[in-house]
Amino acid sequence: MPNIVIVGAQWGDEGKGKVVDLVAPCVDVVARYSGGPNAGHTIVVEDRRFVLQLVPSGVLRPGKKSVIGCGTVVDPVGLVQELDNLAAAGISVDQLYISHAAHVILPYHRALDQAMDQERIGTTGKGVGPAYADKAARLGIRVGDLLDEAYLREKLETSLPMKNHLLRACGRDTFEVDEVVKAVRGATERLRPHVADTALLLHRWMRDGATVLFEGAQGTLLDIDHGTYPYITASSATAGGAASGTGVPPTRIHGVLGITKAYATRVGGGRSRPR
């Protein structure tokens, strides 16, 4: 089977997770390339219901490699909870690989999201937008940074004063460096064995003949550039995001499968201006 992208063609909630689960047996790797814990891919397997927010939907198929690419944003504590839930259900996560270059959501991102954007845009309040904003502003902290606590502290000492200034302006509590480090320390150790240069791994696997399914989140009309701005998500939710969100060149992607449903809906509010 060729390397393909599965993407929502509307405003999300088209049933991508179900389709990924159906196609996953035909590929070797399922790679998530965008979004964060604001996604919710629901899959029912033998009367058991799984809701996956960060882990690629292919994890439910034995023997498949799962990749969380650099285009995602990762809540380390939430991801550990998701992995623990899968393990408790008897689902192996041994072949999960997390990009060292994926940016992380920290407690102050969630506080900022809830203070600034949740009512204005209708976000999930999970810190996704502020984490992507830090990425663009070159203030972000990446998964690889969590593995070196001294370096993590150094980066937090640079960025946290600015975040606290915004939080004070919104009438919210502020954060200390020690508090943030402590909040993610346990999750960091749990995730450490899964962190890798996933772009390099994908290139090597494809070189050796592996096929990849690229799993999108949200939908095309929520894309930050091509969606119904400003009522959009903060990542590249189109099929084109698969290349930048994993580090795989477009020439290695052979096709796109767009998922739609019979009627158009979207979560929350949202409108677009006349063009």
Q: Is 134 a catalytic residue?
A: no
* Token pair in block for residue 80: 């550990």
- The active-site residue out of 13, 113, 117, 134 is 13
CA distance 34 to 236: 6
Q: Is 13 a catalytic residue?
A: yes
| Residues found in the chain | 275
DSSP string, 73-121: EE-HHHHHHHHHHHHHTT---TTEEEETTSEE--HHHHHHHHHHTHHHH
- The active-site residue out of 21, 28, 41, 223 is 41
> Residue 177, Cβ neighbours under 10 Å: how many?
15
Active site residue ranges: 13, 41
